[in-house]
C-alpha cells in the first residue's frame, strides 16, 4: 500500500539568518498509512514541534525528503498542500464574536471561491463535521463561551472539513484536564478509523498513547527515532531508553512511569484482591519493600472479600487490627 506520509533520511531544524544551521534531529525514516493513528512522543527539547512543523510544511527540511502521497512536500504549491495536510496547532484560538460554525467553515477555505463564499454543500460538510466531533448543540455558540476541550474539538472539526487525507496535531491535549484528554484522544482515534484519515499528533500523554495509538514514534535528543506499535516498543525497552532519568523508572510490566525511591525496610505482605494491590502501592509510596516470602520482617495480612481489615503482626509477635491504610502506615512507621 502506498504510504500517506513517508520520510527519507529527514533532518529537521532551523536555518539561522547568517546561514548557520541548527539541526535538531536527523535520519528520520518513518511512515504513516491512511486510517492510522500515530502518536509522537519524546521529552521536551527533542524536536517534536520542529518535526511537526516540517511535516506540515511550515519549515523546510534541512536534508532528506518528506513525501505526501508520493509527492515531495516542499515542492507542493500552497493550494495542493492545503488539500493534503491540515493542522491543529498549540496556540489557543479565541476570537471574539466568532461562532463554532464560522471557525469550522474557515476550514473550507481551500475550496471556496475568490471571496470565500460558503456554498450549501460546504455548509452541509461543516455541519456534519461539527456533529462528528460531538459539538452539534454548540454550532452557533461563540468560541469564547466554550471550554478548552470543546474549542479543541472545534479546531479538529476545522481540520476535518479541510478534507485532507493527513491531519497533524501539535500537542492537542496540552492544556486540557484528564477527562478531556481521554475524550480528545478517543475522538481522534475514532476519526482516523471512521474517516480513513491518517492522524499524527505529538503529546506527553504517554499512557493514553500506549492504550490508543496504532503507532508510536519515539524521539529524544541524540538518539535515532524509533517507530512501531506500542507493545513492541515496550518490549524492546524503547520507553526506558528514551525517557528514563535518574529517579524515574519506566515499568515495562504496567506501562507506566514509577518514581524510584530508596526502599529501606522490607515487609511481608499477604493477601490478594484489590485491597492487597492498594496496600502494596501505599507501602511502596512510603518507601517500603514488600515480599510474600516469610522472613524476619513485620507482616501484614490483608482481609479478603471486600472485608477491609488489615492485620499487622510485629516482629515481637504482637498483633493489631486496623481499619484504614492510613492507620496501618502510621503504626508501621512507629516500628
Partner 1 sequence: MGPKRVHIRFLLLFICLVVLFFLNVCIGSVSIPFDQVVHILAGKEGERASWAPIILSTRLPQTITAILAGAGLAVGGLQMQTLFRNPLAGPSILGISSGAGLGVAIVLLFVGNIWGVALSGIGVLGHMTVIVAALLGAMVVLFIILLLSKSLKDNTMLLIVGIMVGYAASAIVGILKFYSRKEDVHAYVIWGLGSFSNVSWEHLTVFIPVILFGLVLSFLLIKPLNVFILGENYAANLGINIQRARFFILICTGLLTAVITAFCGPIAFLGLAVPHITKGIFRTSDQKKLMPAVILTGATLALFCNLIARMPGFDGALPINAVTSIIGAPIVISVIMRRRKLVGFNA
Binding site for partner 1 (CB under 8 A): 56-58, 78-79, 81-83, 85-87, 89, 91-98, 102-103, 106-107, 109-110, 112, 114-117, 144-145, 162
Place of cell 524515574: 248
What whole-number distance in Å separates Cα of residue 234 and Cα of residue 237?
Answer: 5
What whole-number distance in Å separates Cα of residue 186 and Cα of residue 39?
Answer: 12
Report which of 240, 213, 222, 231 is spatially closest to residue 32, judged by C-alpha positions: 213
Report which of 213, 325, 191 is spatially closest to residue 267, judged by C-alpha positions: 325
Distance, CA of 161 to chain centre: 23
Q: How far is the CB of 274 from partner 1 (least distance, A)?
A: 43
Largest CA distance in the chain: 88
- C-beta closer to partner 1: residue 115 or 305: 115
Q: How far is the CB of 74 from partner 1 (least distance, A)?
A: 13
- C-beta closer to partner 1: residue 61 or 238: 61
- C-beta closer to partner 1: residue 105 or 279: 105
Q: How far is the CB of 196 from partner 1 (least distance, A)?
A: 21
Is-contact 10 26, C-beta < 8 A? yes
- C-beta closer to partner 1: residue 95 or 178: 95
Q: How far is the CB of 100 from partner 1 (least distance, A)?
A: 12
What whole-number distance in Å separates Cα of residue 224 and Cα of residue 28?
Answer: 7
What whole-number distance in Å separates Cα of residue 168 and Cα of residue 324?
Answer: 48
Q: Across the chain, how many H-helices and E-strands are there?
A: 11, 18
- C-beta closer to partner 1: residue 103 or 157: 103
Q: How far is the CB of 292 from partner 1 (least distance, A)?
A: 56
Q: How far is the CB of 79 from partner 1 (least distance, A)?
A: 5
Q: How far is the CB of 302 from partner 1 (least distance, A)?
A: 50
Report which of 266, 263, 265, 276 is spatially closest to residue 311, judged by C-alpha positions: 276
- C-beta closer to partner 1: residue 40 or 283: 40
- C-beta closer to partner 1: residue 82 or 133: 82
Distance, CA of 165 to chain centre: 21
Amino acid at each position: 500500500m502506498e504510504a500517506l506520509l513517508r520520510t527519507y533520511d529527514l533532518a529537521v531544524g532551523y536555518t539561522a539568518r547568517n546561514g548557520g544551521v541548527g539541526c535538531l534531529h536527523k535520519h528520520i525514516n518513518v511512515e504513516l498509512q491512511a486510517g492510522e493513528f500515530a502518536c509522537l512522543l519524546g521529552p521536551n527539547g527533542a524536536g517534536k514541534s520542529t518535526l511537526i512543523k516540517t511535516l506540515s510544511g511550515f519549515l523546510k527540511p534541512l536534508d532528506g525528503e518528506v513525501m505526501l502521497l508520493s509527492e515531495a512536500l516542499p515542492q507542493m504549491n500552497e493550494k495542493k498542500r492545503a488539500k493534503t495536510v491540515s493542522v491543529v496547532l498549540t496556540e489557543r484560538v479565541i476570537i471574539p464574536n466568532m461562532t463554532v460554525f464560522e471557525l469550522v467553515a474557515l476550514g473550507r477555505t481551500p475550496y471556496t471561491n475568490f471571496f470565500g463564499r460558503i456554498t450549501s454543500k460546504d455548509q452541509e460538510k461543516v455541519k456534519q463535521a461539527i456533529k462528528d466531533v460531538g459539538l452539534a448543540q454548540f454550532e452557533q455558540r461563540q468560541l469564547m463561551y466554550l471550554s478548552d476541550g470543546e474549542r479543541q474539538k472545534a479546531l479538529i472539526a476545522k481540520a476535518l472539513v479541510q478534507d485532507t487525507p493527513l491531519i497533524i496535531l501539535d500537542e492537542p491535549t496540552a492544556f486540557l484536564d484528564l477527562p478531556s484528554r481521554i475524550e480528545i484522544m478517543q475522538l481522534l482515534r475514532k476519526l482516523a478509523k471512521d474517516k480513513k484519515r491518517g492522524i499524527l499528533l505529538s503529546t506527553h500523554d504517554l499512557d493514553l498513547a500506549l492504550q490508543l495509538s496504532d503507532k508510536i514514534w519515539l524521539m529524544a535528543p541524540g538518539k535515532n527515532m524509533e517507530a512501531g506499535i506500542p507493545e513492541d516498543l515496550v518490549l524492546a525497552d524503547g520507553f526506558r531508553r528514551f525517557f528514563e532519568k535518574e529517579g524515574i523508572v519506566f515499568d515495562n510490566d504496567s506501562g507506566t512511569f514509577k518514581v524510584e525511591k530508596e526502599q529501606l525496610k522490607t515487609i511481608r505482605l499477604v493477601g490478594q484482591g484489590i485491597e492487597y494491590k492498594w496496600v502494596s502501592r501505599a507501602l511502596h509510596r512510603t518507601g517500603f519493600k514488600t515480599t510474600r516470602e516469610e522472613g524476619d520482617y513485620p507482616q501484614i495480612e490483608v482481609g479478603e472479600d471486600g472485608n477491609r481489615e488489615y492485620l499487622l503482626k510485629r516482629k515481637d509477635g504482637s498483633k493489631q487490627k486496623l481499619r484504614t491504610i492510613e492507620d496501618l502506615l502510621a503504626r508501621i512507621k512507629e516500628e
